Amino acid sequence: MWYPLNKHDLNETVTKFLKTGKHKKPVSGLIVPHAGYEYSGAIAGTAFSLVKKDSIKKAIVLGPSHYVHLFEAITTNLPYIKTPLGKIKSFNTDFIRGDIEQEHSISNQYPFLQKLGIQEIMPLMIGKITEEQAQEIAKNISKIKALYVFSTDLSHFLPYDSAVSRDKESIKILENLDFNRFKYIDACGHFPLLVMMHLCKLKKTKPKLIIYKNSGDITNDHSSVVGYASLYF
């Protein structure tokens, strides 16, 4: 279970996480983690809390494919996206439709978007795409007025200090839009992040770190941790 399935509990949990940010910012995109809410919900919530409620009506959520071997980007084949908080209309431009409901890297972001007043979502499950495909996806979505949400966790199952060092390097590459060193990013959302790099290049902006933690900060088990960061642009 990635988040509470009871409507009341989920609403209270997301509301609490959305109070973690201090100041609203002009935000067009976010990078957020997607572990269970007890691990990374506060880190994701800190990013979403920067977005002014009801300031934008559409969102595009890009996450990696954890369960399906995929070499393209596909969106949902359902007209509505459902969570315990209700349903939101899905939209599509010209992406292939398919069954992506199992992909938690995407669905974990829906409750936050519902609380922000988003009315339409285009989820995109990103497989092992090429540089050219990433550029084309970025070009496609750049034409849409929406909140762009890129879902990824960082390094997996390293000792605490090694994870912090590795994740700092990944964050630095993202903040600098360092295409030459992009291959060194340690993240399960490698391919969604490649789209993000090209999108930021098109929009002449760069991501900025909001907060970084890892699972060791939550569990106090430092032997093997997963990294979580949120950034905005």
The answer to whether residue 136 sits within a structural domain is yes
**Domain range for 73:** 26-232
The answer to whether residue 121 sits within a structural domain is yes
The answer to whether residue 212 sits within a structural domain is yes
pLDDT digits (tens, 9 = 90+) for 20-53: 776 777 899 999 999 999 999 999 999 999 999 9
Give the total number of structural domains in the chain. 1
The answer to whether residue 100 sits within a structural domain is yes
Alpha helices in the chain (DSSP H): 7-17, 42-48, 104-107, 110-115, 131-142, 160-175, 190-203, 215-219
The answer to whether residue 7 sits within a structural domain is no
The answer to whether residue 19 sits within a structural domain is no
pTM metric for this prediction = 0.96
CA gap 185, 173 in Å, rounded: 7
Provide, rounded to the nearest whole percent, the portion of the chain with pLDDT above 70: 99
pLDDT digits (tens, 9 = 90+) for 70-89: 999 999 999 999 999 999 99
CA gap 39, 156 in Å, rounded: 13
**Residue 112: what residue type?**
F
The answer to whether residue 11 sits within a structural domain is no
Q: Looking at residue 40, which CATH number applies to its domain?
A: 3.40.830.10
pLDDT digits (tens, 9 = 90+) for 140-174: 999 999 999 999 999 999 999 999 999 999 999 99
